Structure 1
C-alpha cells in the first residue's frame, strides 16, 4: 500500500485569530500519515498557546520557533521547517489558508495510480475565500490537468495569465533538495521564484481530480502594495529576472516567454520610480512599447496584493 509520510510546513507570525482554522483543516484530513510543522517567526500574540493545544492533543503537530541564527521572514521559517521535516512529500501551507479534508488523500492516490513516484508534483483545484467556504467552487479549469513537463504548465500560466497559490502543490522531497530551498533574500514573489525552479525540474505534473485548497483574502485592512516602496519594487523586478533566467537556461532560448512578458507589463504599469525603471530598462523595456491595461481589475493584481499582505502579516 502506498502510504508515504507528508510534511505540511506552516510559517506563522501573529496569526492567533486564524491559525486554529488552518490547523483544523489539517487535522480533518482523511489521509492520516502526515506531520505538520509550524515555525513561528516571533509572534507576540497567542499564536504559540493555540498551536500548543494542537501539539498536546495530536503528536503529528510540531511547534518550533525560528532559530535566532536564521534571518526573520516566512522563507527562513519554511526552510527551517523543511530541514527538520521527514516526509517523502511536502506541502507548503500559509497559516491563514485552508485545505479540504480530502486533499492529501486525493493527491497521494493520484501518485499511486501512476508509475511516477519521483520527480513529480501533484496539483489541485483552488479558489479564493473570505469568511466562509460555503459556495466556494474550484476555479482555473484551464490548468486542471496533467502535464508532461513543468515548462508546459509555466507556459499555460502565461497563455491564460494565471497565478496559483503555493498550497496547490504536493512536491516530491527530492525535487526540493535538487532545486534548492526558498530564497530568503527576496521580499516579493518568493513563491513564484521558488516554484518555477521546482517546475523546471519535474518529470511529470499530475493533477488530483478531488480535493481543493482555499486562499484567504480580505483578512487584513492593510493596504500595503507590492509597489509601495522602491525596495519592494526592486525585489519584484529581481524576482522576475531570476525567473526569466531559469527559463532561458532551461529552454536554451534568448527571448522571454509570455509568462514573463505578462509580468513585465504589470511591473511597467505600476512602478513609478523613474531611476529604478531606468536601471532595469534592459529587462523591462519602456512603458510605451506595451498597451496600457487596467491592472487593478486583473486577477494578477488581486493575487499579488494578497501575497504581499501575507508577507507583511504572515
Structure 2
C-alpha cells in the first residue's frame, strides 16, 4: 500500500558524516526558509567528531521556533556510507515533497518556496534542481556561478550520453518518485547522485532545473565529491 504523504509538506533530508564545522550554517539555512511547512530529517552516519553534539545543541537553541516532531535525528550505529544514510532519510520522510541538502552546504532562504511553487505549477515535473554558487570554505564571499547545469530537453540528452547536469544537493522531488523507484544504491560509489537522476529518467520521470542560484556549494579539502565536482566544472 502506498504511503499517505502529508500534502504540501517538504521533508528536508540531510545526511552527515564528520561535518561538525559546517552544520550550524547548514541547519540555520533551513530554519530561515520562507516556505514554512517543512520537517527536517538529519541522518548522522556514525560521525566520530562533535556532529551529534552540535545538532542536539542547535535543536535546543531553536526549540521555541521548532514545532513538535519537526526535526528528526537518526544516528546510525555504524557507518553505512552515503547511499545507505540517505535512503534512511528518504524512508523517514512523510512529505508530499522531499528536498536534499548536503551538510557542508547551505540554501538560499527562498529555495524551498521557489522549488515547491515550480512543482505545484508544473504537475508533470517530478524533480527539480537549481543553479548554485560554489565558494571556497576559507573565502565564503568568493562565489562563482555554476556553468554545467542544463535545462529542458538537454537534461535527458546529457544523462543519455553518460553526463551529469543536476546538482544533487539542490534537488526537490515528489515523494511518490521515491515510492516508485527507491533511492540510490551502492553500485556506483561516489556517484550515487548521478545514479538517482539517471534512474529517475529511466522511469520516465520529467526533470528540470531552475536557472536561479538558490544553493551555496562549499569547496573544501575533505568534501566527498571533489573529483566529481572538478570534472563537472571543467
Residues 221/101 of structure 1: CA separation in 2 closer, same or farther (3 Å cut):
closer
Larger Rg: 1
Residues 72/156 of structure 1: CA separation in 2 closer, same or farther (3 Å cut):
closer
Cα RMSD between the aligned structures?
Answer: 3.1
Which one of the candidate residues 129, 132, 143 is aligned to 1:126?
A: 132
Matched, 1:183 2:185: yes
Query: Which residues of 2 match residues 62-73 of structure 1 at below 5 A?
Result: 62-67=72-77, 72-73=80-81
CA distance in 2, matches of 1:170, 1:61: 18
Which one of the candidate residues 105, 109, 117 is aligned to 2:117?
A: 109
| Counterpart position of 1:300 | 231
| Counterpart position of 1:31 | 35
Please report how far the alpha carbon of residue 42 of structure 1 lies from its aligned counterpart in structure 2 after TM superposition. Answer: 1.0
| Counterpart position of 1:96 | 104
| Counterpart position of 1:277 | none
CA distance in 2, matches of 1:176, 1:188: 20
Please report how far the alpha carbon of residue 120 of structure 1 lies from its aligned counterpart in structure 2 after TM superposition. Answer: 1.2
| Counterpart position of 1:139 | 146
Please report how far the alpha carbon of residue 30 of structure 1 lies from its aligned counterpart in structure 2 after TM superposition. Answer: 0.8
Matched, 1:54 2:58: yes
Unmatched tracts of structure 1, length 5 or more? 227-297, 304-314
Unmatched tracts of structure 2, length 5 or more? 1-6
More strand by proportion, 1 or 2? 2
Residue pair 1:163, 1:300 contacting (<8 A) in 2 also: no
| Counterpart position of 2:4 | none
Higher RCO structure, 1 or 2 (CA under 8 Å, sep 6+): 2
CA distance in 2, matches of 1:166, 1:195: 8
Superposed CA deviations along residues 207-239 of structure 1, whole A, max 9, x for unmatched, are: 4354522222124399x968xxxxxxxxxxxxx
